[in-house]
Homo-oligomer: A and B are copies of this chain.
């Protein structure tokens, strides 16, 4: 074990209680819970490590941003700055009945850590702070560091565009490390260079001013049927989005990106078993779809009587929540308009489309020196099991960060394919958590000395 690895291990042990305390905070942004306590917690955590901390409250309507800076140690490179982006908010824990442990209590069991946020991404921030502590204990930080931690990632990072504009000079850095990352289902560590965008909509239809007795179905329209038919008109039987122009703006992969995708793997059987999927994967090429496919997902349906037994009503109203994951070339506002237009063309002009939020997609230049360095360092820590991934399948506000900072972005971290970041029993493996902290410390060392 190298000296740095030993120091990281010691830091993780020392920091275990801080990790548990951070996860205990119920920072559910969609319910506006726990924000103030969490900001206070983080301020103290950074200050204890010697950071200069600012809490930015100058972005109108936003939860506060926690901004912390560390300067390079006496042997470090004061000309190089790395920026970490994380978020302190988490998804709601529901459905509670499906958790096998308390969602806000860090529970270690059989090599796994369980808690809401352990993977997405309170755990990631804490392991980065442990890497900082280890580096400080091993001769000092090899470069300058900045951390910006937002409180609205799980509700769409609505204020990141404004924050990154207002604070572009504060954020100035040579490279950006994104909130989370980790291993794929085949245990390959991924260095991920972008994120999909997202568009979230609510589709609703109202067919009457009251629920009707279902005997009147002989002549009266039904909101649940109407919404069902409208939704079904947007998707083929083999699960392609049937909205004119929906896929048109997707930028084809470059040769470098294609090579990266070709080296990626996804074990369909492992994935199926892990999630208990009842039917085959809906695509023959899941890897390419994860990187450069645009999706339309029904997140929820609600209409009429949903209780026990029977209630023979015609629902007056039906709603669906929909998200679309977007890839480079696609724009959320434009995609929303395509969907609105298609619904009208399909005869469903009465279906109301409400734009809930949108984020642009982003992908770093895979040939950037920092990207290559992150991959090379990964090989040193993870051996052969490393893959360069053009972008994650998930979403994050990378586009506005890039616009402000003009630096490459990579996402690396401690998750695995079964982490279940938005689901009950969210988890990471303890060994992955430790390995990711080591990688972070190594990456900062190489970044300070070799670039």
1/0 per residue A198-216: CB within 8 Å of B? Answer: 1010000011111111111
**A227 vs B225: C-alpha distance when bound (angstroms):** 12
Interface presence of A221 (CB below 8 A):
yes
Q: Which chain B positions have C-beta within 8 A of A281?
A: 219-221
Shortest A400–chain B CB gap in Å is 19
**A232 vs B242: C-alpha distance when bound (angstroms):** 15
A213 and B421 contacting across the interface, CB-CB below 8 Å: yes
Judged by DSSP, the binding face of A is mixed
A64-72, A253-261, A314-322, A436-444: which lies at the B interface? Answer: A314-322
A312 and B218 contacting across the interface, CB-CB below 8 Å: no
Q: Which chain B positions have C-beta within 8 A of A300?
A: 224, 303-306, 311, 313, 315
A209 and B301 contacting across the interface, CB-CB below 8 Å: no
Within 8 A of B (CB), among A266-319: 266, 268, 271, 275-279, 281-283, 286, 289-290, 293, 295-315, 318-319
Shortest A432–chain B CB gap in Å is 18
Q: Which listed residue, B224, B275, B309, B315, touches A210 by the CB 8 Å rule?
A: B275
**A301 vs B147: C-alpha distance when bound (angstroms):** 44
A207, A266, A279, A309 — which one has the most chain B CB atoms within 10 A of its CB?
Answer: A309
Known: A213-B421, A228-B298, A299-B214. A277 touches B200 (CB 8 A): no
**A385 vs B371: C-alpha distance when bound (angstroms):** 84
A108-116, A329-337, A388-396: which lies at the B interface? Answer: A388-396
- Chain B residue nearest to A216 (CB atoms) is B393
Interface presence of A156 (CB below 8 A):
yes
Within 8 A of B (CB), among A325-384: 325, 347, 350, 356-357
Known: A301-B301, A306-B321. 8 other contacts (CB 8 A): A30-B310, A91-B311, A209-B276, A210-B276, A215-B394, A237-B347, A301-B302, A312-B422
Offer 17 A-B interface pairs, CB within 8 angstroms, sorted by A: A209-B275, A209-B276, A212-B420, A212-B422, A213-B394, A213-B420, A214-B297, A214-B323, A215-B395, A217-B295, A217-B325, A219-B266, A219-B289, A228-B228, A297-B312, A298-B303, A301-B301
A residues with a Cβ closer than 8 A to B are: 30, 91-92, 94-95, 98, 155-156, 196, 198, 200, 206-222, 224-225, 227-229, 231-233, 235, 237, 239, 266, 268, 271, 275-279, 281-283, 286, 289-290, 293, 295-315, 318-321, 323, 325, 347, 350, 356-357, 392-395, 420-425
